[in-house]
Amino acid sequence: MFDAHIAALVLHQRSAPIDARERLLEIVTPWSVIPDRAVLATCHRVEVYLAGAAAEGAGDLASDLGRQGFGDPLMRFHGREAVTHVFEVTSGLDSAVQGESQIRGQVRAMLAGAPRSLDPLLRRLLERALGLGRSLRGASALASVTRSVGSLAVEEVARLLSEPERAAVLVVGAGETGALAVRALSRRVKTVVVANRDRGRADALARSVGAETIGLADIETSLTRIDAIISAADTRGTLLTDSLLAPRLARGPLALVDVAVPRSVNSAARELPGLIYRSVDDLQGACALSAGEIERIRAACAHEADRFMREASERGAARTIKDVRMHADGLRLRQLDRALRRLGHLSPRDRRVVETLSARVMNSLLHEPTVMLKKQPERGEHARALFGMGREQS
């Protein structure tokens, strides 16, 4: 099988706690501007997708991260296995709620925020993953999956509250996860309050479900009437601090479900007496698909991965054939020029005969290698080595 020079480094909730994922995210976030790397960070995972030379060096990169404490939990995929993994992630099979659609929006946002110089192979991979996720959702049981991390957070809040139907819940963040939580809460609790950096976005969301809105600066004074909080905002501990929460906790317990990664509640606040704190790792995942449907979707991802690898192989073969011909023609022209300088007595007609002969000899010599490369494109690197050429760039 042709090696598409794609690799993935994965740190998932299943193998690494949230502390480790936060630490890795801090390390790899600057990599998102490097053309041969793409960084996907969600509630449950931090993943780095690599192409070209970076993919070939994935082992060294993993070893380096291993020396920083990520060795055992860090998973590494290469070639077809990496492509299949990206397709399964984007389809939602690897999510806490299997089949949820929010992951496609996160992959789409990652691709939209990538540099224009993003490696073409990596861009094609992500575009293909999004297209596959869209088609699977329209042609399988994925369309029936409506649960999300936001709904898991709402279920946890409802479980922690003694009387959810009489409770007031604050949702910090009106992005996709926060919006899903607000909509689910509106059917479970008495009052939903939305706080968001963009007040207009919060107002629009609140109007759609009959919720209230406040500014971030008003959270402290509003906490007196709040029974629980769901935080889905990337505030990295700067908003829900111990000094903000302590006065409210002096009045009684407070449930706080923090689905942000990095966490939006700082370490000092998480230890406050009376705070019932849950991170995304404390939420119980859900399987919304049957075993048979999961296997069908996995098979579709594997089939599409084979197709992607085959197309990458053919594309690589076409580039190799073109490069070999250009290399050979350059050699032909240099040797032809040397020969014609020694054959200055030839007439223009005879010179054209020699030129035509040189081109026909080159074409004859390249015919069999060209046919073989079309049949076995995975031998492209061998052809380059045989002709003394450098490695192909993706």
**Where a domain ends, among 244, 272, 287?**
287
pLDDT at 1: 43
Same-domain check for residues 158 and 197: yes
Tell me the β-bridge partners of 257: 230, 278
258-309 pLDDT tens trace: 999 899 999 999 999 999 999 999 987 766 677 888 899 999 999 999 999 9
pTM of the prediction? 0.76
Contact 190, 214 (CB under 8 A): no
341 SS3 class: helix
Domains in the chain, number: 3
Same-domain check for residues 293 and 359: no
> What is the distance between the alpha carbons of residues 328 and 284, in angstroms, rounded to a whole number?
61
User: Does any domain span residue 256?
Assistant: yes
Helix (H) or strand (E) holding 161: none
Cα–Cα–Cα angle for 69, 75, 76, nearest 5°? 115
pLDDT at 146: 66
Same-domain check for residues 242 and 351: no
Q: Could you list the mean pLDDT of each consecutive 10-residue stretch along the chain, which spans 394 residues? A: 78 92 95 96 94 92 92 92 96 84 92 94 96 85 74 93 96 92 94 95 95 95 96 91 95 95 92 95 76 90 93 78 88 92 91 93 89 77 80 52
pLDDT at 369: 85
Assign residue 96 the CATH number of its domain.
Answer: 3.30.460.30
Same-domain check for residues 16 and 140: yes
User: Does any domain span residue 393?
Assistant: no
User: Does any domain span residue 193?
Assistant: yes
Assign residue 280 the CATH number of its domain.
Answer: 3.40.50.720
Q: What range defines the domain where residue 27 resides?
A: 6-145+289-312
Same-domain check for residues 189 and 251: yes
Same-domain check for residues 193 and 252: yes
User: Does any domain span residue 347?
Assistant: yes
Tell me the β-bridge partners of 38: 49
Burial tier of 252 (Cβ tally within 10 Å: 0-12, 13-18, 19+): exposed
